Amino acid sequence: MTKIFVLLLCLIVVAFGFVNGSVDEKEKIGIFELKKGEISLKVTNWGASIVSLVLPDKNGKLGDVVLGYDSIKEYTNDSTYFGATVGRVANRIGGAEFTLNGKHYKLVANEGNNTLHGGSRGFSDVVWKVKRYQREGPSPIVTFTYHSFDGEEGFPGDLLATVSYILTGKNQLVIIMKAKALNKPTPVNLANHAYWNLGGQNSGNILNEVIQIFGSKITIVDSKLIPTGKFASIKGTAYDFLKPQIIGSRINQLAKTKGYDINYVLDGEKGKKIKLAAKVHDKKSGRSLELYTNAPGLQFYTGNYIKDVKGKSGYVYKAHAGLCLESQAFPDSVNHPNFPSTIVTKEKPYKHYMLFKFSTKSH
Ligand SMILES: *[C@@H]1O[C@H](CO)[C@@H](O)[C@H](O)[C@H]1NC(C)=O
Ligand SMILES: *[C@@H]1O[C@H](CO)[C@@H](O)[C@H](O)[C@H]1NC(C)=O
Ligand SMILES: *[C@@H]1O[C@H](CO)[C@@H](O)[C@H](O)[C@H]1NC(C)=O
């Protein structure tokens, strides 16, 4: 009798400790602001996500160019990946499985039979630790870390992931994503899932913005958006953005996916690690961005599946309200030996560099 009583007491204490622990964790979610010159960035350690980026338009009027919400609570209930860091493996893994060094791994399938953005509780759905925070100065920075455990969503090994947001130069945002495998080799592919609208997050859609994407090939996908392993030239197709094009000019040709949702193989310059991936320009506001990265691919997504999402100040986002420029490894790389490897080991850590250069022209 006493033994059972003691056991029950232990269980209650453990249960309370757990509840307390998770409440405690929730309480540590915050919003962190970086300010430099004309731009200010807000991020949260929930999913290491971008909340807002405010910068002037051609008339000097400030505007927020990132889709999102007013409150943390809405971020914790989000299913569109607004602003988030996605992982452990961004994009899709076909069949929610892979084999590595002879061992078969079954993952959590959260999009039909496939895994999208790391599973049903990926890196975008966890609380990251705040490791460093400097709000102002020459290089304002915030650094988040997340310790992903062995077996999380089915992935092998403990992994220490780090994401830093840094404001630098004139109107430049650098994002550095790193990951260290602590015991077992594992696939890693981290990406930033911000939805940009240079006209302002509440300005309608991005179909009249102009984009240039420096990739002459795409990875061909099947009807479930899983790569077949083959590549196709974009020449003469609606995917050709080698020269600047209005985003909406040929979007009707992509009825099946309701718009762009495709991985570009970035061309880059021979011998150079950092490539110019894309340029976007919004004529109305005069705002432009350029994205440079060391990643081999760029998923270009035109927010095809945004459906009446209630965002900042009650503004309702509809399809194409924003665009994502997800520099990353090719989707489903772990199942395609001919794609650049995404396997991270103790000896071979992961590093993903992104530089967003913003500018405003008045003409
Ligand atoms: C719960 O957390 C609070 C604050 O961290 C702490 O003071 C308290 O002792 C904890 N209670 C239990 C039952 O663990
Ligand atoms: C959570 O998200 C769903 C849609 O994904 C929405 O219907 C619901 O209203 C949201 N709940 C809260 C409390 O925001
Ligand atoms: C998942 O796979 C099974 C077996 O191959 C198939 O019958 C089913 O239709 C698939 N589900 C989806 C949503 O694709």
Instruction: State whether the beta carbon of 74 lies less than 6 angstroms from ligand 2.
Output: yes
User: Per-residue pLDDT averaged across 61-80, rounded?
Assistant: 96
**SS3 assignment for the chain:** CHHHHHHHHHHHHHHHHHHHHHHHHHHCCCEEEEEECCEEEEEECECCEEEEEEEECCCCCEEECECCCCCHHHHHCCCCCCCCEECCECCEEHHHEEEECCEEEECCCCECCEEECCCCCCHHHCECEEEEEECCCCCCEEEEEEEECCCHHHCCCCEEEEEEEEEECCCEEEEEEEEEECCCCEECECEECCCECCCCCCCCCCCCCEEEECCCEEEEECCCCCEEEEEEECCCCCCCCCCCEEHHHHHHHCCCCCCCEEEEECCCCCCCCCEEEEEEECCCCCEEEEEEECCCEEEEECCCCCCCEECHHHCEECCCCCEEEEEECCCCHHHCCCCCCCEECCCCCEEEEEEEEEEECCC
Mind listing the pLDDT tens digit for each residue in 193-211? 999 999 999 999 999 999 9
Domains of the chain plus CATH, in order, are 30-360 (2.70.98.10)
Mind listing the pLDDT tens digit for each residue in 252-265? 999 999 999 999 99
CA of 202 to the centre of ligand 2 (A): 20
Percent of the chain past pLDDT 90, that is, above it, reads 91
Judged by its nearest atom, the ligand closest to the C-alpha of residue 28 is 1
User: Per-residue pLDDT averaged across 311-315, rounded?
Assistant: 97
Active site residue 326: yes
Judged by its nearest atom, the ligand closest to the C-alpha of residue 97 is 3
State the pLDDT at residue 99. Answer: 98
State the pLDDT at residue 17. Answer: 47
CA of 119 to the centre of ligand 2 (A): 19
Instruction: State whether the beta carbon of 33 lies less than 6 angstroms from ligand 2.
Output: no
Instruction: Take atom 2 of ligand 2 and give the residue whose Cα is closest.
Output: 77
Instruction: State whether the beta carbon of 233 lies less than 6 angstroms from ligand 3.
Output: no
Instruction: State whether the beta carbon of 79 lies less than 6 angstroms from ligand 2.
Output: yes
Q: At residue 82, does pLDDT exceed 50?
A: yes
Instruction: State whether the beta carbon of 77 lies less than 6 angstroms from ligand 2.
Output: yes
Instruction: Take atom 1 of ligand 2 and give the residue whose Cα is closest.
Output: 77
Instruction: Take atom 8 of ligand 3 and give the residue whose Cα is closest.
Output: 113
